[in-house]
């Protein structure tokens, strides 16, 4: 029960890594606001998925609500904090996790696609961090923010030229806000997931040759699961990590260090 009695917001919390984080937070004793985005897009979350996570959390004996909204819109972050205050009385933990990666080649990248990815992955992380941190400051009890960066903050991807800079940006954002928010006892860290099997990369890894190649590069010999990342996020969000801020932690089965 690392997060007993805490109140969390998880953006992009209904599917993939975010779903894993929402469930792990609940297992650790936390109530959770699950943000999701309901547009009919392959890469974003849907209301049913969010309601399923709410039901799973309630079955664990914790409270949860689902709140729809595109995190690229700054108003959504204010709404999420307001929802957490109304439903649970405050916010102690933020998992800034919402992200998209619509794989696309570089030379013909449409500006609109670039703007969409920047808006969700980077501006969205900024808005929710700012909104949650203001609430945590007003509460006067500190807080913990954990952003989902990526191994892609450190390495490139030919089909991810719009995406990898946002993940480097999220990592950098946590470093800077760790300094800005340290005086309020608000810790800010990021996780850098490697190859985690979720809907975001289902198409990209539908080619068995590509999947086998990537799998063979992971020293621990398997793709990650959302729970592999969620466990680390729960740790960083908890008092077990009371002296950790401005840090990033690779959760990649050793993929990053495997040059050969």
Query: Which chain residues interact with ligand RM4 by CB under 6 A?
Result: 101, 150-152, 157, 160, 195, 200-201, 204
* Catalytic one of 22, 95, 149, 150: 150
150 is catalytic: yes
Q: Which of 146, 13, 12, 124 is nearest to 74 (CA)?
A: 124
Instruction: Give the CA-trace dihedral at 111, 112, 115, 116, to 10 degrees.
Output: -150
Report the nearest approach of ligand RM4 to the CB of residue 36 (Å).
18
CB of 249 to ligand RM4, least distance (A): 14
Measured CA to CA in angstroms, residue 106 lies from 13, 58, 112, 148, 164 at distances of 29, 44, 13, 24, 12
SS3 84: helix
Give whichever of 90 and 157 is closer to ligand RM4, judged by the CB atom. Answer: 157
Q: Indicate the residue among 129 and 150 with the shorter CB distance to ligand RM4.
A: 150
- Considering beta carbons, is residue 184 or 205 the nearer one to ligand RM4? 205
In the set 36, 43, 127, 163, the catalytic residue is: 163
Q: Which of 43, 167, 190, 248 is catalytic?
A: 167
In degrees rounded to 5, what are phi and psi of residue 66? Answer: -105, 130
Nearer to ligand RM4, 24 or 252 (CB): 252
Which residues pair with residue 34 across a beta bridge? 10, 66
Min CB(240)–ligand RM4 separation in Å: 26
Told to judge if 167 belongs to the known catalytic residues of this protein, a careful annotator would answer: yes
Q: What is the smallest separation between the CB atom of 142 and ligand RM4, expressed in angstroms?
A: 29
Are 92 and 237 a contacting pair, CB within 8 Å?
A: no
Beta sheet of 64-68, edge-to-edge order: 64-68, 31-36, 7-10, 93-96, 143-148, 186-193, 248-251
Indicate the residue among 83 and 149 with the shorter CB distance to ligand RM4: 149
Distances in whole angstroms, Cα of residue 9 to Cα of each of 113, 154, 253:
27, 26, 27
Q: Which DSSP letter does residue 121 get?
A: I
Q: Which residues are catalytic?
A: 150, 163, 167
């Amino acid at each position: 029960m690392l997060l007993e009695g805490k109140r969390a917001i998880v953006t992009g919390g209904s599917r993939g890594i975010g779903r894993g984080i929402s469930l792990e937070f609940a297992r650790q004793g936390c109530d959770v606001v699950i943000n999701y985005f309901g547009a009919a897009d392959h890469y974003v979350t849907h209301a049913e998925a969010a309601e399923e996570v709410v039901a799973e959390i309630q079955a664990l004996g914790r409270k949860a609500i689902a709140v729809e909204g595109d995190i690229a819109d700054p108003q959504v972050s204010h709404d999420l904090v307001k929802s957490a205050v109304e439903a649970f009385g405050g916010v102690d933990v933020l998992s800034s996790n919402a992200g998209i990666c619509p794989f696309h080649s570089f030379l013909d990248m449409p500006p609109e696609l670039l703007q969409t990815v920047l808006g969700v992955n980077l501006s969205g992380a900024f808005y929710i961090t700012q909104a949650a941190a203001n609430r945590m400051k007003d509460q006067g009890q500190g807080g913990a923010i954990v952003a989902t960066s990526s191994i892609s903050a450190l390495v490139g991807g030919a089909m991810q030229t719009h995406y990898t800079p946002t993940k480097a940006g999220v990592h950098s954002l946590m470093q800077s806000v760790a300094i800005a928010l340290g005086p309020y006892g608000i810790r800010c860290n990021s996780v850098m997931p490697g190859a985690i099997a979720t809907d975001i990369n289902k198409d990209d890894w539908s080619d068995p040759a590509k999947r086998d190649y990537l799998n063979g590069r992971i020293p621990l010999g398997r793709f990650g699961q959302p729970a592999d990342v969620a466990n680390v996020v729960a740790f960083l969000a908890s008092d077990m990590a009371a002296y950790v801020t401005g840090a990033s932690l690779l959760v990649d089965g050793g993929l990053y260090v495997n040059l050969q």
